Structure 1
Amino acid sequence: MAVARGRPSTTAKFGLKFAPHEGSFASRGGLFEQIAYAADQGFTAWEDNEARARPVAQQEQLARTLAQRGMTMGVFVASMPQWSKSRPILGSTDGAEREAFLTDVRGSIEVAKRLNATRMTVVTGFLDPKVPHDIQTARVIDVMRRAGDIVAPHGIAMVMEPLNTRTNHPGVYMQSISQGYAVARGVNSPAVKVLADLYHEQIQSGNLIPTLDTCWDEIGYIQFGDNPGRNEPGTGEINYGPIVRHLKAKRYTGVIGMEHGNATSGRAGEDRLVAAYRMIDSADGAA
């Protein structure tokens, strides 16, 4: 496949590292055409949850393409639950699923290196109704500490993603950023941090800016998505302008994953997506 090479763009780069993903600009072609288009719009990062499942050659091509366009690789998923089976249960009495989780983590290290990724997403699974919650927390901390010991020597951090239970993922163990903070503090490793997905947090807890502040030391990655609908900023109730101003004030230099769909399909929706991010990235931050 011919891949668009790096070339200068007259479009101003975004102030923050907003990261589209495959599908954000679907009308522009396949994965690599979408990356080229995103770069031409001023985006300086890319996110690819599916990267681990891609062939090695495509992973390598992805890394080359991002480097050519001066873009940072965001997260990919290192370990994801089997949603239909409500597994794994990392806090269960049976340790087999914890061992399988660690196998996933080990297998993701080479993927991260191939992609030049320093962050990879893990989901801490589901609750066991037969085991006291505090016992499950202790077991999750234990397995995440073991995972951190595996990952830390490679300069990579796992980011644990809390998920909402009210709209999307009933029964999951980690349900808020503050809960992720407690686990990360228990693990006490630079290789285990929290993914602050503000779509999930708004549904589950709200209070977004104070939560970011309180948990800041353990937040290793951020994702945006409006609620309801999980589409681009400005389509729901979250006032993303002040959140962006707050992140700039804190001198956040990490990637912000655009973990959402487009409210409108086709090229009109893609133009609206870019405009929404231009609006919140602007100096006045108006949403």
Structure 2
Amino acid sequence: MALPLVGLARAQGSTSNAARFSLAYAPHEGSFASRGGRIEQIAFAADQGFRAWEDNEAGARPVDEQEQMAKALAQRGMRMGVFVASMPNWSQSRPLLGGNDDAEREAFLADIRKAVDVSKRLNATQMTVVTGFLDPRVPVDIQTARVIDVMRRAGDIMAPHKLTMVMEPLNTRTNHPGVYMQTIAQGYAVARGVNSPAVKILADLYHEQIQSGNLIPALETCWSEIAYLQFGDNPGRKEPGTGEVNYATIVRWLRAKGYTGVIGMEHGNSVAGRAGEDRLIAAYRIIDRQGGEA
């Protein structure tokens, strides 16, 4: 159901220095594009009460830009969410972390080593890992064993720095055909196999809704291995209230669980320009409020 414009201002609150959200929802560059560049968008988000920021592309940015962003977040009392530690080659369907070529796994581990320095510059403690693509030539069980092995090695790189990689299951029905990890349950199996605090799951509820649905039972069953969440409604991958997911109920469940981590707003705005930015803020005000009601 689309979010109505009626009552938008009331749902959003004041236009600046608004009350902080109860959970650490994290916008990203582009969420508030009309407000200026990255640093200006961070300042605007802080003024609206957002407590965190997410930037998938941060690892590929120049060092000075990483440092500037970290400084801006620290000045506004905001937490840094995830960045992508190792970006797949989507056009070539690589890497095949469960395949027969050790070179692909070694290249992945090289990316993880570089990500340690990135995380320190960003004051980030978590980073996204995509576990690559399925290799049709290799039995899936063999691929799973190899993915567990390489994730264990990656976890050994992260653990001394108290960093956590969060593996992101992706849907194959709409966005990413052929990827290896497709559900939160599959991520749970790999994370339990790795058995390390440095290797957990990123539960992107947009992807999970498309691939499997049954969101709260999936979260409940796999909760011990979930360290990060992302929101996005389906269909369309826009803000809560534009699709079929009842995000207020998800927020209520997360509060009951005592979740204090970051929730990435990994979606677009359903309306362009400032009207869409206002709608985005209002959508999160609504689920934040309704998620606290008995």
TM-score (norm 1): 0.96
Report how far residue 186 of structure 1 moved: 0.1
Cα distance in 1, alignment partners of residues 25 and 239 from structure 2: 12
Name the % identity. Answer: 78
Cα distance in 1, alignment partners of residues 139 and 62 from structure 2: 41
Which ranges of 4 or more aligned residues in structure 1 deviate by more than 4 Å?
Answer: 283-286
Name the counterpart of 2:268: 261
Per-residue Cα deviation, 1:175-226 (whole angstroms, up to 9, x for no partner): 0000000000000000000000000000000000111111000001000000
Cα distance in 2, alignment partners of residues 43 and 78 from structure 1: 24
Q: Is the 8 A contact 1:18 1:43 kept in 2?
A: yes
TM-score (norm 2): 0.93
Q: 1:91 aligns with which of 87, 98, 122?
A: 98
What is the total number of aligned residue pairs between the two structures? 278
Cα distance in 1, alignment partners of residues 198 and 291 from structure 2: 35
Name the counterpart of 1:142: 149
Report how far residue 283 of structure 1 moved: 4.4
Report how far residue 258 of structure 1 moved: 0.0
Report how far residue 169 of structure 1 moved: 0.2
Q: 1:198 aligns with which of 196, 205, 213?
A: 205
Report how far residue 166 of structure 1 moved: 0.1
AA at the equivalent of 1:77: V
Cα distance in 1, alignment partners of residues 46 and 17 from structure 2: 11
Q: Where in structure 2 are there 5+ consecutive unaligned residues?
A: 1-15
Name the counterpart of 1:31: 38
- Partner SS for 1:282: helix
Cα distance in 1, alignment partners of residues 93 and 72 from structure 2: 36
- Partner SS for 1:83: coil
Q: Is the 8 A contact 1:279 1:285 kept in 2?
A: no
Report how far residue 10 of structure 1 moved: 3.7
- Partner SS for 1:234: coil
Q: Is the 8 A contact 2:228 2:262 kept in 1?
A: yes
AA at the equivalent of 1:263: S
Cα distance in 2, alignment partners of residues 195 and 17 from structure 1: 15
- Partner SS for 2:74: helix
Asked if residue 100 in structure 1 is aligned to residue 101 in structure 2, the reply is no
Per-residue Cα deviation, 1:18-37 (whole angstroms, up to 9, x for no partner): 00000000000000000000
Name the counterpart of 1:50: 57
Cα distance in 1, alignment partners of residues 59 and 87 from structure 2: 11
Q: Is the 8 A contact 1:242 1:285 kept in 2?
A: no
Cα distance in 2, alignment partners of residues 219 and 263 from structure 1: 28
Cα distance in 2, alignment partners of residues 103 and 76 from structure 1: 16
Asked if residue 120 in structure 1 is aligned to residue 124 in structure 2, the reply is no
- Partner SS for 1:84: coil
Cα distance in 1, alignment partners of residues 118 and 167 from structure 2: 18
AA at the equivalent of 1:282: R
Per-residue Cα deviation, 1:76-132 (whole angstroms, up to 9, x for no partner): 000111000000000001111000000000000000011010000010000000100
Cα distance in 2, alignment partners of residues 37 and 16 from structure 1: 17
Asked if residue 215 in structure 1 is aligned to residue 204 in structure 2, the reply is no
